[in-house]
A = this chain, B = another copy of it.
């Protein structure tokens, strides 16, 4: 072995030792470190789950609760559970549990249906609200980088309300708005790049032209403060199986600001949203308050798993989660920069904290292959076509040693696969 190679290897080793030591210190000082025990996770030291932005880990309280729901509430009480076990009111009750995590007072959120269905409800209702004062409004604006389902559903909402859909890059949204704008659908955090959009100023811009905004919080609810009430957001939707750990396909949520609820005119006025659902009346009369956003019978098993999952938030603030999230993503970038040769990957997530969600997206041409190898070695992120490696950081169960390990394994994998690959920043 040449002296030079030996020297370089020593330097790398020293750097890794230094980062590992730093990770240990950060973990020791982490006030959320104790929360990890509320999740079911491997303690083998090898597995690092960085895909909580796709499917959150299993909270330890869920299995026991679901067993009780199935065996006792369904199996023994059966139909009586709709009242005696609180099934009927679960959508509002669980909505109220989510409310403080997104900066909403109680009585404004219901849980139920998928995110896609809720986007449809919210967007159609927003257009109808805008037309109450100005029937001529005929445009829906959507950010062009949206998660696809929002765009597809927005197209349908536009078609069914006689609007035109205008997809525009997020940076151009404010300049696009005008007297014809009825509603605007925006993603709080870009699912691919992890970019955090400026909710307060964009909301204000939409209001300035007399339109209504619908925020999609899928990648921010449970990850960072949202401040729905504080920023006078009109409507919002979000999923509960990412940072809220509600389980696969757990029901989504819908927020309608209190003073707008009486104007909420749902395109899906199912019997659960009726003022008197058991009146079985042929004429529809919408319920007051948040239940107006309900549709059909709620999926109780998925919903009550979510309720149990939300117990991990007892005594935890989303502000503390945000502080740790930024520290985790900062540290990940620091480790990646230290371990991975320059140019091998390009970070597409903004460096500025105010523009960063709770994930880091790295671009490299062989991302699909790289992610497969990472997963084989226990570092679980995900791959988004064509060339993005996505790593989600969930502060309630990811620690700094995990982050260091993930960066180290990533560097190893990239070294193995680097023969014919080099990143092209900016593509």
Chain B residues lying within 8 Å of A67, measured Cβ to Cβ, are 63, 66-67
Write out the residue numbers on chain B whose beta carbons fall within 8 Å of the beta carbon of A299.
Answer: 114, 248-251, 299, 301-302
Do residues B296 and A144 form an inter-chain contact, with CB atoms below 8 A? no
A400 within 8 A of B: no
Contact of A114 among B266, B282, B297, B385 (CB under 8 A): B297
A263, B20: Cα distance in complex, Å: 59
The residue in chain B whose Cβ has the minimal distance to the Cβ of A161 is B160
Is A24 engaged at the interface, CB distance under 8 Å to the other chain?
A: no
Within 8 A of B (CB), among A148-198: 148-149, 151-153, 155-156, 160-161, 167, 192
Complex contacts, A239 vs chain B, CB 8 Å: 297
Contact B156 A269 (CB under 8 A): yes
A74 and B284 in contact, given A156-B268, A269-B152, A270-B117 (Cβ under 8 angstroms): no
* A152/B274 contact (C-beta < 8 A), A82-B248, A116-B296 known: yes
Of all chain B residues, the one with the shortest Cβ separation from A87 is: B248
**Which residues of B lie under 8 Å from residue A241 when comparing CB positions?**
297
CA distance A55 to B116 in the complex (A): 27
A301 with B247: in contact, given A58-B74, A117-B113, A117-B296 (CB under 8 Å)? yes
Residues from chain B with a CB closer than 8 A to the CB of A167 are: 282
**Interchain CB contact under 8 A, A296 and B156:** no
Whether A297 touches B115, Cβ cut-off 8 Å, given contacts A40-B75, A79-B54, A270-B153, is yes
Given known A-B contacts A278-B385, A282-B148, A282-B151, A271 and B160 have beta carbons under 8 A apart: no
Partner of A274, one of B55, B148, B247, B279: B148
Q: For chain A, residues 292 to 308, give those with C-beta under 8 angstroms from any C-beta of chain B.
A: 295-303, 305
Q: Give a binary string over A263-289; 1 marks a CB under 8 Å from any B CB, 0 the rest.
A: 000111111101000111110100000
A57 within 8 A of B: yes
Q: Identify which of A115, A117, A248, A297 gathers the most chain B CB atoms within 10 Å of its CB.
A: A248
Closest B-chain residue to A155, C-beta based?
B284
Contacts of A280 in B (CB 8 A): 147-148, 192, 384-385
Could you name 9 residue pairs across A and B whose Cβ atoms are closer than 8 Å?
A57-B78, A67-B67, A70-B305, A80-B375, A115-B296, A151-B284, A152-B271, A167-B282, A279-B385
Top 6 closest A-B pairs, CB basis?
A114-B296, A116-B270, A116-B296, A248-B300, A149-B271, A58-B75
| A residues whose Cβ falls under 8 Å from a Cβ of B | 40, 49, 51, 54-55, 57-58, 62-63, 66-67, 70-71, 73-76, 78-82, 87, 113-117, 120, 124, 144, 147-149, 151-153, 155-156, 160-161, 167, 192, 239, 241, 247-252, 266-272, 274, 278-282, 284, 295-303, 305, 375, 380, 382, 384-385
